[in-house]
Chains A and B, each alone.
Chain A
Amino acid sequence: MRVNHFAGTGKLLKLYLRRDKIILPIWILLPMLAISGQISFVKAMPDWQMFINELSASPITSAILGPIVPLSIEGAILWRGLVQASIAVMFGAAFTVIRHTRTEEASGRIELVFGRPVGRYANLTAALILTFGGSMLAGLLSVAALIGNGFAITGSLVAGLTLAASGFVFAGIGGLCSQIFEHSGSARGCIFGVYMLTMVAMVINNIGGGATYWAWLAPESWFRITLPFEENHVWKFLVFVVLSALPMIFSYMLLIRRDMGAGLITHKEGTDSASPNFNSPMVLAWWQQKGSILAWAIGMAFLGGIMGMGTPNVSEAISFSFAHMDTEWASAIVKLGNQEGFMAILIYMLGLMGGLSVFAITVVQRLRREEKEHYAEMVLSRPVSRSNWMVSYLAVAFAGSALILLVLGLASGLGWSVASGEFSHFLRVLGMSLSKIPPVWTIIGIAALLYGWIPRIGSILNWLILGIFIFIEMLWEVGIVGWSAMQWTYFAYAHYSIPIHELSIVPLIVLTVIAAALTWLGVIGFKRRSIG
């Protein structure tokens, strides 16, 4: 009998399309929005020509975001636009695959499907097709945005295909993680880890001038290989497609060999009784979060250490034109110096804007999940007050984020100090990292407030607020808005542009008080609403 492992793929694909009416369009549209944003952004600048000349003259931006290639308006758009767009596509693709494979398996829903005449590969295949289509569409929409703004068709196409390819490869990695881990949360965590590694490769490539082989390991830098609007290496897109097929092939090989519901990593038996200290919601909250806190701390130690050691490679030379740029941003960087600025920006990105913001929001969203999965009921039906339960989780979030920032500061400070032989850097870097604690706590406070009052849309609002603040930050960097706009965000009060010894402590104390007040309000909301 011929075995049709793919039977039912089409029907599952339809189901997934039906189920993904919100999440899929978001990550498909985001890249186009990011690119369009960059287009209007660059065009809105009074003199973009001068801007790109000067930015490419700055060793510090080259080190972080890489040199602008080609040195034209297109290059200026892709330089940042594609990095942002690829974040959306890479995570969107990987999470979509995980959502339809491992999540379905862990929830048991897949049993209903596989009890029907559905092939063993149908589920993974449908998820991959969906993600492939999504990545392609995200790429093509970005192409449309570029062409619509009058840029060359070939270059736009190469840029869009390169973007789509970053989705392909992360779809494959998502599929692979789904085979390896028994829980979808671990699979998603693994994606974060893989993304961090690609970021390391990206920065190493950028420090090395932007055209090293490291770029192959960083899908967000693949446009430095295909070089849209310059050499337009379309054939390299085909190499990416072949590359992304590898994790997919592995996924299929693992899938056919394993039992439904099982992963590669099996679980050992635990203890038969709880330790006497395991006796409060606080311990429970810690127990549930410690894995992710530990993973974040290790990740930050790794990234911070590597970046710290790379810092002495950043040239301290400041070009004449850059020194005379008249944005607030440029003068701040000149004042800091390149190495100090590089470190400050990295700590800022990892410790606040990019990294810890995500940690803070996801860790508070854990509350929502506990509630939705009815775990909260089991605890709250015992003599445990609602405020006790909620504050326990938040306390772990507060302490955990502080711990991760401490680790980040220690690792980056040590890395830089050891590599340069200059230990005076250590305390300054540690200070930079610790100064991010109050703003991160404010994020937790906002998340707690939203969870307490409007849990259903709270999580989306959380990400939206973060997105808006990041957008304000970008506008400020190119001089479209002034510092007064930045001051509406929690970013401003531990900002990288302020030298650490000039950072004033009062706003940080105020932020801490605000975080406490928001948390308190959130708890009040939670006590007043129904659960479930």
Chain B
Amino acid sequence: MNVIETRELTKYFGRQAALKGLDLTVKQGEVYGFIGPNGAGKTTTIRILLGMLRKSGGDVKLLGGDPWQDAVALHKRLAYVPGDVTLWPNLTGGEVIDFLGSLHGKVNPSRRKELLDRFQLDPKKKCRDYSKGNRQKVALIAAFLSDVELLILDEPTSGLDPLMELTFQECIFEAKKQGKTVFLSSHILAEVEALCDRVGIIRQGKIVESGTLEELRHLTRTTVTVELVKPMNLTLLQGVYDVSQKEGKWRFSVDANAMETVMNVLAPMGIKFLTAEPPTLEELFIRHYGDKLGGKESK
């Protein structure tokens, strides 16, 4: 079953198009990474999924329902952390956590204490005295405290320190173990790489790439470092890019579909040393956005 499904989803703000036909599928039980640069339409997508914005066109289904019509019923089954957390200045963090939890039903006190400990949050402070990271923690704790099927997280860790980032990742792994679905919009690619089963890359209001990390990697180049016995000029090979030579070792990136040919050429030259590194998400990302015109070379 698909937890989130959009087809040709569009959203206009006046004449400005924020989403231009977004197709998105998130399956039950998976952790889905939603990545893209600033202004690509990530938050707009999430707000439509939450029924806060009304779509301009296309179809959108969330947990089998219509996010605008059935908002209340659907929200019982999900928890959300906004990207920019503002809290009521004259309430304490503990009060906010309890209040938000009460909207979902009962708050489990032992789970509450556990999360407060894990995120090291002092719940007695007034929200006006919290730093950005601590406000983020309040929202995260409130979200993890609700026993729901789906977590929608909009750049949830942008203010967290590395230790808290690890705690966050643990919580996501736990949620996944319990069969929950996680929709994670993020800028922190290492986090997406560590957590996500599948990834969708959004650019200018459209999904330009989606699939498992393996699938995405397959579409792009692998970085190869090789030391050969016999001399040869690698720059002439088809499907090979960014060739450099340092201390007798060649380093280049190679298209996935040219890999076999390249290896066949290299093998007779006597391979003394070889490493092949899959592209990091960051490289994928930069390849999609690095150029001005749009990832035309990616397919």
Contacts and interface: CB of A to CB of B under 8 A. Distances in A.
Nearest to B96: A112
Contacts of A116: 75, 79-80, 100, 103-104
A266 B14 contact: yes
Contact of A118 (B14, B87, B91, B103): B103
A248 to B, nearest CB: 21
Contacts of A111: 47, 52, 80, 82
B85 interface: yes
Contact of B52 (A5, A117, A260): A260
A7 B80 contact: no
Q: Is the interface of B mostly helix, strand, loop or mixed?
A: mixed
A118 B146 CA distance: 14
Contact of A119 (B72, B104, B139): B72
B289 interface: no
Interface in B53-106: 53-54, 65, 69-73, 75-76, 78-82, 84-88, 90-91, 95-96, 99-100, 102-104
Contacts of A149: none
B202 interface: no
Interface in B118-154: 139, 142, 152
B50 interface: yes
A3 B70 contact: yes
Given A19-B91, A113-B100, A118 B72 contact: yes
Nearest to B14: A266
A107 B90 CA distance: 14
Interface residues of B, number: 38
Interface of A is mostly: loop
A385 B84 CA distance: 31
A8 interface: yes
A422 interface: no
B73 A118 contact: no
B79 A115 contact: yes
Interface in A13-72: 15, 18-19
A119 to B, nearest CB: 5
A120 B86 CA distance: 20
B103 A11 contact: yes
Contacts of B142: 112
B104 to A, nearest CB: 6
A499 B7 CA distance: 76
Given A114-B52, A115-B50, A115-B80, A19 B88 contact: yes
A1 B72 CA distance: 11
Contact of A259 (B53, B75, B104): B53
A114 B139 CA distance: 13
A375 to B, nearest CB: 15
A108 B81 CA distance: 12
A416 to B, nearest CB: 46
B76 A11 contact: no
A4 interface: yes
Interface residues of A, number: 27
Contacts of B53: 259-260
A259 B52 contact: yes
A3 B72 contact: yes
A109 interface: yes
Nearest to B71: A120
B99 A11 contact: yes
Contacts of B139: 112
A1 B67 CA distance: 13
B129 to A, nearest CB: 10
A260 B139 CA distance: 19
A98 to B, nearest CB: 16
A116 B50 CA distance: 9
A18 B84 contact: no
Contact of A109 (B65, B72, B87, B95): B87
A7 B78 CA distance: 16
A107 B71 CA distance: 21
A11 B101 CA distance: 11
Contacts of A8: 72, 103
A7 B74 CA distance: 12
Interface in B175-231: none
A183 to B, nearest CB: 15
Nearest to B99: A15
B100 to A, nearest CB: 6
Interface in B8-31: 13-14
Contact of A108 (B73, B82, B91): B82
Interface string A119-150: 11000000000000000000000000000000
Contacts of A1: 65, 69-70, 73
Contacts of A109: 86-88
Contact of B72 (A7, A11, A266): A7
Taking each of A8, A116, A118, A266, which has the highest tally of chain B beta carbons within 10 Å of its own beta carbon? A116
Contacts of B85: 108, 112
A118 B75 CA distance: 8
Contacts of A19: 88, 90-91
Contact of A113 (B13, B70, B103): B103
A116 B97 CA distance: 12
A113 B52 CA distance: 11
A129 to B, nearest CB: 17
Interface string B35-54: 00000000000010011111
A5 B72 CA distance: 8
A11 B152 CA distance: 23
A259 B52 CA distance: 6
B254 to A, nearest CB: 42
Contacts of B102: 11
A211 B54 CA distance: 48
Contact of A4 (B47, B65, B72): B72
Contacts of A18: 91, 95
A5 B82 CA distance: 22
Contacts of A115: 50, 75, 78-82, 152
B145 to A, nearest CB: 12
A109 B104 CA distance: 17
User: Which residue, of A3, A5, A114, has the highest number of chain B Cβ atoms within 10 A?
Assistant: A114
Nearest to A16: B88
A114 B50 contact: yes
A112 B141 CA distance: 12
14 contacts: A1-B65, A8-B103, A19-B91, A107-B86, A108-B82, A111-B82, A112-B82, A112-B87, A114-B52, A115-B50, A115-B152, A117-B75, A120-B71, A260-B52
Given A109-B87, A118-B103, 5 more contacts: A1-B70, A3-B69, A113-B103, A116-B103, A259-B52
Interface of B: 13-14, 47, 50-54, 65, 69-73, 75-76, 78-82, 84-88, 90-91, 95-96, 99-100, 102-104, 139, 142, 152
| Those 6 A-B pairs whose CB atoms lie nearest each other, nearest first | A115-B80, A116-B103, A260-B52, A117-B75, A117-B76, A111-B82
